[in-house]
A and B are shown apart, each in its own frame.
Chain A
Amino acid sequence: MPEIEIALRVNGRAAQWRVQPGETLLEALHAHHLKGTKLICGTGDCCGCGVILDGRSINSCCTLAAQADGAELLTIEGLSQDGSLHPIQEAFAEEGAAQCGYCTPGFIMRAYAFLQEHPHPTEADVRAALGGNICRCTGYVKPVAAVLRAAEMMSS
Chain B
Amino acid sequence: MRLATLRLAADRLRRGVLAAGAFVMVVAAAAFLAHLPPDRGAATGNERAAPSVADVQAAYDRAALSADGLHDGDIRIVGVDCRPGTGMRFSCQVGFVKSEFDPARVFLDTALVERTPKGWTLARGLCRRLI
The reply to whether chain A is a binding partner of chain B is no
- Give A contacts to B, CB under 8 Å: none
